[in-house]
Chains A and B, each alone.
Chain A
């Protein structure tokens, strides 16, 4: 017998009778009211040091452009989605380089990109979280390595919290390579409980909240 079989055999020999479905255990954790979702989402993100900019379906590229200008971004990379292509088109004139991410070296990724642009598929009001489903068109490192991460979220994609997202079957199925919940810029409190932002990931997170409802 190998280790696997020995471990499983030991577990099987002392397994209890199966317990009832744990979701039958009542859980009165309050769900935020729908009317409060947007305010709560914004509040949570700003508590976590992220900026939230409200805009509409027409003016968001302009607003992102002004964010890029204000933060002195000269090199932007985006995932390959409609929003990213629209953004690249509208800001490429003003930046040194703005394009859809393709194959790139780690050297480029770590040293030459100022900002990454991603699109969230859902937002969680209770925690101020962005759900990002990565894949061929939404690289994992775009929301991780560049010092500035800009994430677009449509207000219509908001849900109460993670439980509701899962309960409503809105997690992707089958699960893609990597799904992320992002709730602020990277941070640490490992030095005497003092919060510092920009630990290893982005130092800044800007959420473009498209008010489509």
Chain B
């Protein structure tokens, strides 16, 4: 049991919420440092990353089978993207024939307006939401709340995060940054039954879930509308597919009379024969499950004679920068993503700073690739440097998105002289500073001239004694803040090689290298 009173917990929760918004208003490097200094947070992320990596490994025990499945997954996603405009039209045609109304939104604001319009037309005042990253991306909750519509997240993690006044820190496990004790305080301090009673304090996970279940079931029963995401949309049949474990997605799409599904335009596949491999890649990569508890395939609103299901189903197709990503010659594979989160689970940087430090809807490697392209390098250019290019994300990606190469490409976009091409990432060249460009130009000069290079390295080795001084240690900060000062050797390898008579050139050029 906790030694705090409910009032004390509420004060602490208010403080934490305040700290969260304070953190979100800071610069990337500050957010990262704040996260690194937060022991509890780091422990949560380390534990979660280890857990999820092990779970994934357990369902991919045969590496050849995994690689083969990834080949297929990549081929399906690339095929789908290569036919994207046609598939979207086919999808629209078939959904419409099935009775599902299709809407197109170019921007986040337009998507919010469309959704609000549908709700207003139906006098919907209360909305339950299934998990949907794209509605986080367009900041739908905020928009609807300003219009006086109650918008309740029903995925357990999303519910907890909403209760705390925060945003998700992971695309699959939104409350991954909180430990059980923090959630116990949150539920007791802020959750209320319909009669306004606080829920009793408990740290028992089954009880915590039971309490949230009771509150949310009432909301499902009463809600005017349900808003969900979509994991895959099948063009040939006009089907919306949703992957979930909790049942809240099914509740959201089945119980209220109105269902609005929202998806990015890239989620379409041509045929049902393309679905099974993507599904198995998705659940295995995300949470190490062979399959999720529910795979929910919706093709129509309630038909005559059917006893349940919404009377109206709408699909809002959101562009919000995706068609621009589509036009970029090298960044296009960004759109292959199936939003499994494996890249963040395997990212050593994410494991240390967590999702909120990125300050964006999508954190981790895929977030570093998507966010600057949607929101611009001006605002999100810093996060692309938060990558050691170690490749763990690319290795885990079920559809083989070359994430490290894309992050590097975005560094190039951020630092290059702006081209003003239509496909240029917004904020192209924003990180280019005259001094840094000059340094690299000088660096290139020194390293493309053997003589200059040898002279420079000679000087480096001859200044070895200086490297023992506090001055150099200070100059080499921040490297030396946590490491000893590296010490050059007394002679360069170029010198040693020459001194030992190692040839600089091959004597006879007609000699072949290998004895075959």
Contacts and interface: CB of A to CB of B under 8 A. Distances in A.
Contacts of B300: 175-178
Given A12-B85, A186-B246, A200 B309 contact: no
A161 to B, nearest CB: 7
B65 A17 contact: no
Contacts of B251: 144-145, 200-201
A141 B179 CA distance: 33
Interface stretch (A67-75, A86-94, A187-195): A187-195
Interface string B55-82: 0000000101100110110011011011
A187 B208 contact: no
B47 A176 contact: no
B148 interface: no
A112 to B, nearest CB: 12
Given A29-B277, A166-B275, A8 B85 contact: yes
Contacts of B180: 191-192, 194
A28 interface: yes
A59 interface: no
A52 B459 CA distance: 76
B217 A110 contact: yes
B156 A190 contact: yes
B240 to A, nearest CB: 10
B190 to A, nearest CB: 15
Contact of A144 (B69, B250, B275, B295): B250
Contacts of A181: 291, 294-295
A15 B308 CA distance: 41
Interface residues of B, number: 97
Interface residues of A, number: 85
B272 A11 contact: no
Contacts of A109: 221, 308
B174 interface: yes
Nearest to B295: A181
A65 B72 CA distance: 46
B206 interface: yes
B323 A11 contact: yes
B83 A106 contact: no
A199 interface: yes
B248 interface: yes
B105 interface: yes
Given A7-B265, A25-B72, A199-B213, A141 B308 contact: yes
A72 B52 CA distance: 37
Nearest to A22: B75
Interface in A114-141: 124, 126-129, 134-136, 139-141
A22 B72 contact: yes
Contacts of A189: 173, 245, 287
Contacts of B307: 101-104, 136, 139, 141
Interface in B487-515: none
A145 B251 CA distance: 8
A15 B290 contact: no
Q: In this complex, which of A29, A102, A189 has the most chain B Cβ atoms within 10 angstroms of its Cβ?
A: A189
Contacts of B292: 183
Interface string B27-47: 000000000000000001001
B88 A180 contact: no
Contact of B173 (A106, A124, A190): A190
Interface string B127-170: 00000000000000000000000000011110010000000000
B209 interface: yes
Interface of A: 2-4, 6-8, 10-30, 44, 48, 101-104, 106-107, 109-110, 124, 126-129, 134-136, 139-141, 144-145, 161-163, 165-167, 171, 173-194, 196, 198-202
Given A21-B79, A22-B75, 15 more contacts: A4-B104, A13-B327, A15-B82, A19-B78, A22-B78, A29-B280, A104-B307, A129-B291, A134-B306, A174-B237, A180-B296, A190-B155, A193-B173, A200-B213, A202-B247
Interface of B: 44, 47-48, 51-52, 62, 64-65, 68-69, 71-72, 75-76, 78-79, 81-85, 88-89, 98, 104-106, 110, 154-157, 160, 173-175, 178-180, 183, 205-206, 208-210, 213, 216-217, 220-221, 237-239, 245-248, 250-251, 254-255, 265, 272-277, 279-280, 287, 290-303, 305-309, 317, 319, 323-324, 326-327, 423
15 contacts: A14-B327, A16-B81, A27-B68, A101-B307, A141-B255, A167-B273, A173-B237, A175-B299, A175-B300, A178-B299, A180-B297, A186-B293, A199-B209, A199-B245, A200-B154
